[in-house]
Chain A
Amino acid sequence: MSYDVIMPALGMAQETGRVVAWLRTVGEPITEGDPLFEVETDKAVMEVPAPAAGFLSAVTVDADEEAAVGAVIARIVETVDEVEHAARLADADAQSQAPAPDPIPASRDAEPDPSLSTPDSKSEIEAETPTEPWTTPDTQTPVAGARVLASPKARRLAHDRGLDLAMLRAQGVPEPIHAEDLEKAVTGQMSVLSARADATALDALLANAAPDTDQARLFAAFAAGAWRSVFAAEEPAILIRWPDGATDQIGRDQAVCVLVDLTSTHLTGYTPGTGGTTMTVARDGAALVLKLTCNEATLPFAAAVAFLDEMVARLEDPVRQLM
C-alpha cells in the first residue's frame, strides 16, 4: 500500500508549482501531517504536510524543480522495504498527469474554421494563410512570386474560375485586385483548342428527349458540369449564345464561359477576337466539332485541356453528367 504525494493547487488559476525544498529525506519515517516539502507558487512559499504516515519514497521532483499541479512528485510507502531510491520511476506518471496544452491555437493553425470558408475553397485558404502580418499596399512593391494583393472576394472568385492572380498582376492589373478587375483583365493573345466528339450517344439521348428540348441549353449544362468537375467550383455560370445573336445564361454568378451552339448551321467554328473563354459546338456528320478559345493567362493550358476533354467525354457518354 502506498500514497501518492501530489503537487497541490494552492491558487485557483495555478498550473505549476516549484518545489523549494524537501523537508524529509527518502526512506525517513513520516507521521501524517508532518511538514513534507515547501512549494512556491506565483505568490508565496508554503509548507505542505504529509498526506499519510509511512516512509518517503520515489521522489521524482527535486528541490528547485517545477511540476504540474496534480502530478505525483513522491510516494509514501508503509514499510521501509518498499522505499524506492531510484527516484525517477514515477516520471511517466508525472507526465501523464500534466495538463494537456491548450488545444485551440494548434488546431487553428492546422485547420481554418469551416464556417468561414466555402467547402471548395479550402485548399486555397490553407495555401493563403499568411505567415507574416498583413502589409498595406503602398508599402509593398510587387515582386514576382510574392503574395498577390487581392480582396477576399476577388481571391475567392479567381479560385472558383481557375484564374491565376499572379498572371493578372503580370498583365499589369494594379493591386489590390478587386472582383471587378477579373472581368477587365482578359487581354492578349487567345489560344484555340479543338476536339472531336462522337455524337452517337448524344443523338440517341436527343431522340428520346422532349420535343422542346433546347440543345444549346443541354450543351451549356454539360459545360457547367465539365467546369465543375475540373475546378471544383460550386455553380459555374455559362452564357449561351445562339447563332441569331440571342443570349441567355445558366447559373447566377458571372459567367465563366460562353457557349455557342452552331449545330443548326454550316459553320464549323468561331473564334472571338477579344473577350473571355468561349466554346463552340458544331456538327460534322456523325460527330461534333468543339473549339475552345481562351486566354492562357486566365485559363491556363492544362486547365483548358482538362475542361475541353471533360466536355467531350460528357458528350460521348451523357451519363457522366449524372455522376
Chain B
Amino acid sequence: MTREIALSRAINEAMHEEMHRDPTVIVMGEDVAETGHPFKFFDGLSNEFGTQRVIDTPISEPGFTGLAVGAAMTGMRPVVDLMFGDFIYLVMDQLCNQAAKTHFMSGGKLKVPLTINTNLGATRRSAAQHSQSIHTLLAHIPGLKVVLPSSAYEAKGLMKTAIRDDNPVVVFHDKLMYSEKGPVPEDDYLIPFGQANVLREGKDITFVGTSSMVSVCMEAAQRLETNGISAEVIDPRTLVPLDESTIVGSVKKTSRAIVVDEGHRNFGVTAEIASRIAEKAFYHLDAPVGRLGAMDVPVPFSPALEDLTVPTTEQVCDLAAKLCRKEVSGVV
C-alpha cells in the first residue's frame, strides 16, 4: 500500500531527490530558503543543500527570473518559484523572448533547462490579481512546455521530468490542491510529457479535464453513470506537448466531448483542444464539442461571486446530458 502525502509534500520530495541526483539543480525565489516557502515545497532544502543552492531573492520576479535564464544557459538547472501564477505577467520577456527562443536563435548551441514552479486556480479568496489561471498564455509560445499536474502523484513525477528536461518548462499546480493528499510512491519515478492519462473508460462521451478540473470531471462521470451515461475521462497532463492522439481516439469512440479547464473560456485551452477534436474527429462527432472554463471576468473577491466563475460538477453533468440528449435526475 503506497503511503498518502499532500501535493506540496510530493513537490518537496521531487526537489530533494533531484537536488541529490544533480548538483546543478538550484532553487530561486521569494521565501524559498529561510521559510521553505509559504506552501512548504522547499522545506528543509536550505539546511540540506545550503543557501548557495537554495536562494532567497528580493521581491523582483523579472530580476531573478532573468538571472535563472542566464544560469540555465550556462550550465545550471534552476527551479524558479513564482509564488502566484499571476506574476507570469512580470516575467513574460524573460520567458517568452529569452528562455523560449535562445536554443533556436543560437542554432542549438545553448540550452535553457529552466523550470518555473507556479500555480493557477480561483476560490482561495485571493482576489483578481492572485487567482488567475493563465497557463494558456504560455502554451501559445513555441519553445515553452506547459505542465498541469492533477494530483500528488502527478505532481512528483511531472516535476522530476520538468527538472530533467533541457527546455524551459512551466509547471502550474492548482493552489487549492496543495494540501490534497494522494498515494505517492517513495521511489524515483518520472511521468513522461505528452502522454495523456485515461482515468476512466466510457462509451458515450469524453471529458478532457486539466489540473483541478480532472477531479470535477471524475465526479461528474460517477454521477452520470447512475443516469445511464458512460463518460471517459482524460487528463492530458501537459498542454505542450499535447497528446492529441489519445484525445482524438477517445472522441472517435464516444462521438461526443466536453473540454474543461480553469482558464478563461475566451481563446483558451478549451478552445484549442475543442478545435483539434473538430479537425481530427469531425466525421465521428454526433454533437457539438462542449467547453467549460472560467467565466470571462476578473475573478471577484466576493466568495459568493467567486464560486460562480469556476466550472462545477453540476455544469459538466448538465452539458453532458444535453449533448447525449438524455434526462439527468438529481444532479442539479
Contacts and interface: CB of A to CB of B under 8 A. Distances in A.
A153 B325 contact: no
6 contacts: A115-B280, A116-B279, A151-B287, A152-B284, A153-B286, A155-B283
B255 A179 contact: yes
Contact of A156 (B280, B283, B287): B283
B257 to A, nearest CB: 12
A157 to B, nearest CB: 9
A217 interface: no
Interface in A100-155: 115-118, 121, 151-155
A228 interface: no
A115 B287 CA distance: 21
A190 to B, nearest CB: 28
Contact of B286 (A115, A118, A151): A151
B158 to A, nearest CB: 31
A24 interface: no
A115 B283 CA distance: 11
A121 B282 CA distance: 13
Contact of B283 (A152, A178, A180): A152
Prevailing SS type, chain A contact patch: helix
A151 B325 contact: no
A178 B285 contact: no
Contacts of A154: 286
Nearest to B278: A152
A175 to B, nearest CB: 13
Interface residues of A, number: 14
Interface string A163-201: 000000000000000111000000000000000000000
Contact of B255 (A115, A121, A153): A153
Contacts, number: 32
Interface in B271-296: 279-280, 282-287
B286 A178 contact: yes
B325 A118 contact: no
Contacts of B284: 152-153, 156
Given A117-B283, A178-B287, 5 more contacts: A116-B280, A116-B282, A151-B286, A156-B283, A179-B286
B205 to A, nearest CB: 13
A153 B279 contact: no
Interface of B: 255, 279-280, 282-287, 325
B279 A152 contact: no
Contacts of A155: 283
Interface string A219-239: 000000000000000000000
Interface of A: 115-118, 121, 151-156, 178-180
Question: Lowest 5 CB-CB distances: which A-B pairs, in order?
Answer: A153-B286, A151-B286, A156-B283, A179-B286, A152-B285
A117 B285 CA distance: 13
Contact of A118 (B279, B283, B285): B283
A180 B287 CA distance: 11
B274 to A, nearest CB: 14
Nearest to B281: A152
Nearest to A156: B283
Contacts of A180: 286, 325
Residue among B283, B284, B285, B325 with max Cβ neighbours from chain A (10 Å): B283
A121 B325 contact: no
Given A153-B255, A178-B325, A179-B255, A121 B283 contact: yes
A154 to B, nearest CB: 7
A155 B283 CA distance: 8
A117 B282 CA distance: 9
A248 B280 CA distance: 33
Contacts of B279: 116
A180 B255 CA distance: 11
Residue among A116, A152, A156, A180 with max Cβ neighbours from chain B (10 Å): A152
A196 B279 CA distance: 48
A155 B285 CA distance: 10
A59 B280 CA distance: 53
A155 B280 CA distance: 16
Nearest to B288: A151
A154 B280 CA distance: 17
Nearest to A178: B286
A151 B287 CA distance: 6
B177 to A, nearest CB: 36
Nearest to B255: A153
Contacts of A153: 255, 283-286
A154 B285 CA distance: 8
Given A178-B325, A179-B255, A151 B285 contact: yes
B239 to A, nearest CB: 23
A303 B283 CA distance: 24
A121 B285 CA distance: 15
Contacts of B283: 116-118, 121, 152-153, 155-156
A20 B268 CA distance: 47
B325 A152 contact: no
A117 B283 CA distance: 7
Contacts of B255: 153, 179
A304 B325 CA distance: 32
